[in-house]
């Protein structure tokens, strides 16, 4: 029984070692007094040829820079070596997996997360923070439905009307776009009561590029509410 355990342990160690790069071109960094830096990657100290690290001390970066001399290899900080398994830095959100795109390890949408989703299931979150309105929507949900998250836009031709960006919120990858609470900007419509001021607008999202347009744009209407006192305070605040 003990011999079986030893054999099983040896097999596991062999399998684990097989995942690590063990070639000689490029050479291990320790064999040529090499080091890894953010600016230059991993190189030998004598002739500046590329090398491959084999420990965390040789690879201080928390990303895949240390394996840049090897195509299709990625740094595993737990094994202290370059492996064939993609590792994404920073880590992926809950609705993503780490995949390979153009030989780079990147977070991509997990297709299993939103199977069966319908357009009616989409929800946009709206933050009305001071004089800035931020609208966010799941990138992977949009992708699953065949829409292009990078096309978030309001009405208007200025950069402010279509400058969206990706981020992670509550462990979900979202595409966000911000708009200042200014009357008429990118289609902002203002209404007032005795104590409140409301900024309303419409967000548009178009489908992924293709030979035939088969889907109408997704449209989200939203409103941010502010007190008149707060709005006056924003208008009177000093500008840097």
pLDDT tens for 4-61 read: 333 333 333 333 433 799 888 999 999 999 999 888 889 999 888 999 998 888 888 8
Q: Determine which helix (DSSP H) or strand (DSSP E) holds 38, and give its type and residue range.
A: none
DSSP 3-state of 197: strand
pLDDT at 2 over 80: no
- Averaged over 186-209, what is the pLDDT? 92
Which tokens belong to 13?
A: 């160690």
DSSP 3-state of 151: helix
3-state helix, strand, coil in the chain (%, to 5): 20, 35, 45
Cis peptide before 108 (omega within 30 of 0): no
pLDDT tens for 158-185 read: 999 999 999 999 999 999 999 999 999 9
Cβ–Cβ < 8 Å for 29, 44: yes
**Least confident window among 37-46, 87-96, 119-128, 206-215:** 206-215
Whole-angstrom distance, CA of residue 139 vs CA of residue 167: 9
- Give me the chain's average pLDDT, please: 85
Output the pLDDT for position 62.
Answer: 83
Q: Spelled out in words, what is the top-level CATH class assigned to the domain 119-236?
A: mainly beta
User: What is the percent of the chain where pLDDT is above 90?
Assistant: 62
- Averaged over 203-217, what is the pLDDT? 82
Domain boundaries of the chain, sorted by first residue: 21-87, 119-236
pLDDT tier at 213, thresholds 50, 70, 90: low
Output the pLDDT for position 227.
Answer: 87
Output the pLDDT for position 74.
Answer: 94
DSSP single-letter state for residue 99 = E
Cα 84-88-89 angle, rounded to 5 deg: 130
Whole-angstrom distance, CA of residue 86 vs CA of residue 69: 15
- Averaged over 108-112, what is the pLDDT? 94
User: What is the percent of the chain where pLDDT is above 70?
Assistant: 87
Full-model pTM: 0.75
């Amino acid at each position: 029984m003990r011999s079986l355990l030893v054999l099983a342990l040896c097999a596991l160690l062999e399998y684990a070692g097989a995942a690590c790069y063990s070639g000689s071109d490029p050479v291990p960094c320790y064999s040529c007094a090499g080091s890894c830096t953010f600016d230059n990657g991993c190189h030998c100290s004598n002739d500046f040829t590329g090398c491959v690290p084999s420990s965390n001390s040789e690879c201080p970066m928390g990303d895949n820079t240390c394996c840049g001399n090897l195509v299709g290899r990625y740094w595993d900080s737990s094994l202290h070596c370059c492996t064939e398994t993609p590792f994404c830095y920073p880590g992926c959100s809950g609705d993503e997996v780490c995949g390979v795109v153009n030989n780079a390890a990147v977070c991509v949408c997990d297709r299993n997360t939103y199977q069966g989703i319908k357009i009616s299931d989409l929800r946009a979150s709206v933050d009305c923070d001071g004089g800035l309105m931020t609208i966010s929507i799941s990138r992977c949900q949009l992708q699953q439905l065949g829409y292009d998250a990078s096309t978030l836009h309001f009405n208007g031709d200025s950069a402010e009307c279509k400058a969206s960006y990706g981020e992670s919120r509550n462990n979900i990858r979202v595409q966000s776009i911000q708009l200042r609470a200014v009357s008429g900007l990118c289609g902002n419509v203002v209404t007032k009561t005795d104590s409140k001021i409301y900024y309303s607008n419409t967000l548009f999202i178009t489908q992924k590029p293709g030979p035939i347009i088969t889907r109408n744009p997704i449209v989200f209407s939203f409103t941010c509410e502010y007190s008149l006192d707060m709005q006056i305070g924003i208008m009177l605040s000093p500008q840097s």
